[in-house]
Amino acid sequence: FSLIRGELIQNILIAVAVMFIIVFVMIVQWQVVLSVALAIGATIINTLGMSYYWGVELNSVVTIFVLISIGLSVDYSAHIGHTFKESYGTSIERAVKALTNTGPPVFNAIFSTFIAILVLANSKTYIYKVFFQFFLLTTLFGGFNGLVVLPALLATIGGDKIEASSPTDVLEAGRKSIGGASALMLEKKESTVDGRNSLAGKSTQLNNAL
């Protein structure tokens, strides 16, 4: 038992480290990476904790299914995080866009996986029974953390991202700015000329009066 427990802890740490590296390479932004990692970590803890209360005993079969569950839990959170990273606006607007664009496919993945494993619900074979338990827990907790907890974290600490102007917009703005400055200079020049003409007219009138 102690050997299996040691191997399980070691394999979980390795799997989580690899997951963190892959998510960081995909997303880069540390706020989003941290949020995704927290959501995945919460799924792993929820799954392991609930499996204990479900009466699952630690053995080599459970170890394998735990590692598979870790890989499955990444799928529900990484896509939401990546879509958030590519979106523009405030953190809340980006979270809404991530849920709007990626939420339905993620929900479909959760629902289809849930339907697929229902056939194993009444299985009497130990391997199939444990398989059903872990995949059910991973699907439920992974879906909850990916569609509820993660967007809340991203809306809180994800940060804002202002959309950069295209080169055409920058060029057009520059032209308008130059045009406005030229018009202002021309207006000032005409005002100066009008003032000089007015002053010259008054001088002529004064000379004639004298």
Nearest to 86 by CA among 31, 19, 145, 27: 27
> Which stretches in the chain have pLDDT values below 50?
165-167, 169-170, 173, 180-181, 183, 193
Global confidence as pTM? 0.71
Q: What is the pLDDT of residue 164?
A: 57
Confidence at residue 19, expressed as pLDDT on a 0 to 100 scale: 83
Note the pLDDT of residue 124: 87
pLDDT at 191: 59
Look at residue 197 in the predicted model and tell me its pLDDT: 55
